[in-house]
Amino acid sequence: MQISGDDLTTFLEDYRWLCGVLMEEELFFRRENRYRLSTFAEAERTVYADRVFMTRYMNGLLMTQLWWANHSSVLRYYRDSFLPGNKQQCRHLEIGPGHGLFLYLAASAPNAGAIAGWDVSPASIAITRSAMNAMGATRPFDLSLVNMFEAPGGQFDSLTFSEVLEHLENPAQALAAIANLLAPSGRAFIQAPVNSPAPDHISLFRSPEEIVELVRESGLVVEDTLFAPPAGVTLERAREMALTISTVVVASKSG
């Protein structure tokens, strides 16, 4: 309610629009057994560079935090389990902050120090900034257009990488970059969905274990996991039907 303000009807309309977009991608996925896009350049051209599309996309995704059980489970785990485990005055980074809700929770945590958000989309940066201000973020935060693969390493004690891995052509390279960005004993909250078609998804993960193994191969130490199926479906049924499963991996860098 704070983020939407007087524009709640717009957010609801954007959520309904998003559901239609995702249904088209779901139909393609079921027919072709793959995602529609295969390169980041395609996603950049059709989604990230389109400010109107990105704004509607982020507005719709914000509402899913309430209405999609897998998303609300992840958000609750992030707030109640991951953030309290960070050290005092931790330097925190979120790559791809999107609708801004996760970054706001990180900035509001009692143990937070410096807060930063990086993205490749100017529209996403603007949306995040607006959301942080609307929710009354009191701790200073820095939002920047940054290429994670070109940034210097060892900067952060805590890092959030949520719903980004599936947008990249080379997930293993991205995880290696995350490991590099973490300071010794730093912790990462890595979240990606399996079997989850969307207009900008590129890398298709078939099982939660595939994501967990990729994190291990990056050299990070897996501390905990969460596998969250959609509403009304057990994890076993979600596996059987190749439905979306939101997969969280909390990992740390050896000190």
Query: What is the predicted pLDDT for the residue at 123?
Result: 83
Query: What is the predicted pLDDT for the residue at 109?
Result: 96
Query: What is the predicted pLDDT for the residue at 124?
Result: 86
Residue 172: CATH number of its domain: 3.40.50.150
Query: pTM score, two decimals?
Result: 0.95
Query: What is the predicted pLDDT for the residue at 120?
Result: 84
Domain count, the chain: 1
Beta bridge partners of 145: 119
Per residue in 219-238, pLDDT tens? 999 999 999 999 999 999 99
Domain that holds residue 9: 5-252
Residues of the chain falling short of pLDDT 50 = none
Query: What is the predicted pLDDT for the residue at 255?
Result: 66
Per residue in 5-15, pLDDT tens? 999 999 999 99
